[in-house]
Amino acid sequence: MDIFTSLVIPALVGIGIGILSGMLGIGGGTVLVPIFRLAFGMSPIMSTATSLFTIIPTSVSGAVSHVRHKTCVPSLGLAAGLGGACTSPIGVWLATISPAWMVMLAAALIIGYSAVNMLRKAWKMKPARPAAPAQA
């Protein structure tokens, strides 16, 4: 494996993930698992496991920025994070005993469901109207 394939491409993917993670609150499972699986040819288990390594640094960095800007609910995030951390080993166990196609199907269904709901909510949002010009 040459240096470009082993360091440069993953670093560029990481930059993109960092920007998307901060902007949209996504990363690991939503973007990285498909990239690892399709672009890097990793197995489903290896793709999900490797994406977990990006969660801590991107989450901490993004969370600190959002707390500073008061654009989050830290208690809700902490509660959800603790619940996820406590039950994640169960998910790992389920992934290791499941066929690879089932792991990818579950990921695709969750990503697809999220995408459809987000698009539906975006279409319902009313576009902001520009302020009327001041009349003299």
Last residue of a domain, one of 29, 49, 72: 72
When pLDDT is cut at 50, 70 and 90, the band that residue 86 belongs to is very high
Mark whether 20 and 67 lie in a shared domain.
yes
Of the candidates 32, 25, 34, 29, the residue with the CA atom closest to the CA atom of residue 10: 32
Mark whether 67 and 14 lie in a shared domain.
yes
Number of separate domains in the chain:
2
Examine the pLDDT at 26 and tell me if it is beyond 80: no
Q: Is residue 44, in this structure, part of any structural domain at all?
A: yes
Mark whether 52 and 100 lie in a shared domain.
no
Mark whether 2 and 46 lie in a shared domain.
yes
Q: What is the reported pTM?
A: 0.65
Q: Is residue 81, in this structure, part of any structural domain at all?
A: no
Contact 69, 29 (CB under 8 A): no
Find the domain containing 98 and state its range: 86-125
Q: Per residue in 59-82, pLDDT tens? A: 888 889 889 999 999 999 899 989
Residues 6+ apart with CB under 8 A from 42: 36, 50
